[in-house]
Chain A
């Protein structure tokens, strides 16, 4: 009996419980439904962001490299909501400023900017002057001074002129430090071209280095480098010949700090610049030449695919077959 009543009770409770569960489930489903709706909308907007950014980056790799400035400012006007991402992903040619105290040129980037002023690596002062502009720690500044001196010698030996600037800062996340090595060279005959071969010639190199905290005598270095260049030669009077381009590459290494950070960073940058220069020269420019010479084949020189070459092949084949 008792058992039976209990069972009934249980069944009743079970029924109520089921109802409650059902109720809760419906509610949850509603909530889920609302959330899913919210989610998909947000999701779609996120996809929109990705599509727009991908489209913008696709445009950047198709527009003439000499017009990066125009292309980027146009994209910023069309996509003002993605400005920060655009500015962080597209490299622009470096701007030059004048250090009125040390009477030297220096280069501008986001790492020496505070408000509308830019800190010079030479005097460590901001131009236009800024009272409380951000400053690196004494220790970093010491390394920065040394880095600027050595890098200027390096720049002179490879570039025979140009302007260089090095900036160091402490990253917001994690230990270690970050550094940015910049070089700009105007190699035109009116600029600092030593041989007067270029009507126009610009080289911009941006090297951003992240250096991890020292661990058992080793530090992790991560280098991201971009080279942008353009030049117009003056080989023949009636012919204009311009090449331009930009490439970005990354390099990482764990190195002993026994010889100091500066030596390690310098060697990485030297190796990277050599690779980028070589890549542009041999691979990229070589590829454009290949394209030109397949569009218009040099006549007289016989190739297997040229019309002359093929008709000659035919003649030879006919001759062989006849014999």
Chain B
């Protein structure tokens, strides 16, 4: 972007001349002549390569707030005015966005939903749903599932690992149903899927994803948590490390965004698969509730603390500013200050 910016700097000064339009204000500016003026200048535009255009469009798509990528795609298409370039940008951005945002997609046979995550991705378009042992074929740009097939044996963990995975998944589903009105979750085996009882370590990832979007109420939001669960059979321990990301966007006559994240960890003892599942999800539930408490506290401090660092509600004098005699007041204050200094 640095390069891009330096490229556009001379252009900026060129066009800034006409920025005085602002003082005359939008209403008084004749839109049609403005449009003509713009069109006349069309030939003078700076040349940007197709490669750069795709890069810029991809940037916008990846920065889409939760659930808003289709709307952003529509707008970037209107800006690009080139279907070929748009398709290339979309092909690059959508799979990345879908997996980063961990979006849920209805299975083609309507039997449920599959979460798109990098942990369940067999390749870009094939995504494993560990709960049903199915693989969903995904059209990323359309955000739909086009086909479902049963997972092959080598795509699934050993029976021993699966027992632990399924038990955690079971407990996680119960917790997500209670805490997330529109949540989805999955548990993947990300390391040591062929490990047997009494063998090496293995690693599971439990993910929770919840998205809300309402175009007519101008808001969207997402909660994503990824929990790395490391099972050490030798030490009989389970290490749990989590990262939670929360984004909220409110854009009615404005644009306001919340971005918050937390990293937390805890551990528990390895027990029977069923007991381990309960223990792990208890840890997750506890840490996530704790984080929500921190968020609540941060919000409660916004008004009186955080905001005050930028602008106070009332002046230091605790009365509205006296525009009439501000100068005299400040003058007399300075005199008293000087007097007190000399004293």
Contact = CB atoms under 8 A, between A and B. Distances in A.
Contacts of A87: 12, 15-16, 19
Interface stretch (A9-17, A99-107, A286-294): A286-294
B294 to A, nearest CB: 5
Interface residues of A, number: 119
B168 to A, nearest CB: 19
B248 interface: yes
B294 A88 contact: no
Given A270-B321, A289-B299, A308-B178, A242 B306 contact: no
Interface in B35-53: 35, 37-39, 41-42, 44-46, 48, 52-53
B340 interface: no
Contacts of B22: 88, 110, 208
Contacts of B25: 210, 222, 224
Interface string A16-29: 00000000000000
Given A80-B11, A292-B248, A296-B210, A110 B19 contact: yes
Contacts of B8: 73, 76-77
Interface stretch (A119-127, A136-144, A258-266): A258-266
B336 interface: no
Contacts of B222: 295
A4 interface: no
Given A62-B255, A77-B46, A208 B303 contact: no
B341 interface: no
Contact of B24 (A49, A171, A238): A171
Given A77-B7, A241-B298, A259-B324, A231 B306 contact: yes
B25 to A, nearest CB: 7
A291 B221 contact: yes
A288 B221 contact: yes
Nearest to B250: A287
B198 interface: no
Given A62-B72, A62-B251, A87-B15, A169 B321 contact: no
B132 interface: no
A56 B212 contact: no
Contact of A262 (B72, B298, B312, B323): B323
A interface, by DSSP: helix, strand, loop or mixed? helix
A80 B46 contact: yes
B181 A297 contact: yes
B214 to A, nearest CB: 9
B266 interface: no
Interface in B171-223: 177-183, 210-212, 219-223
A62 B65 contact: yes
A288 B45 contact: no
B111 interface: no
A162 to B, nearest CB: 8
Interface string B27-71: 010001011011101101110100011001101100111001001
Given A83-B15, A241-B298, A295-B246, A55 B78 contact: yes
Interface of A: 45-46, 48-52, 54-56, 58-67, 70-71, 73-85, 87-88, 110-111, 113, 115-116, 146, 149-150, 153-154, 157-160, 169, 171-173, 178, 185, 187-188, 193-195, 197-198, 201-203, 208, 210, 222, 224, 229, 231, 233, 235-236, 238-248, 259, 262-263, 266-267, 270, 273-274, 277-278, 280-282, 284-285, 287-289, 291-300, 305-308
Given A55-B78, A62-B251, 20 more contacts: A59-B75, A59-B76, A65-B257, A77-B8, A77-B53, A80-B45, A82-B38, A83-B14, A87-B15, A150-B326, A187-B310, A239-B262, A239-B291, A242-B260, A243-B257, A259-B323, A295-B212, A296-B179, A299-B179, A307-B179
* Closest 9 A/B residue pairs (Cβ): A55-B78, A245-B256, A157-B315, A80-B45, A247-B254, A187-B309, A291-B221, A288-B248, A83-B15
19 contacts: A59-B79, A61-B255, A73-B8, A74-B59, A74-B60, A77-B53, A77-B56, A222-B25, A229-B310, A241-B298, A243-B306, A247-B254, A259-B324, A287-B250, A292-B221, A296-B179, A298-B289, A299-B178, A308-B178
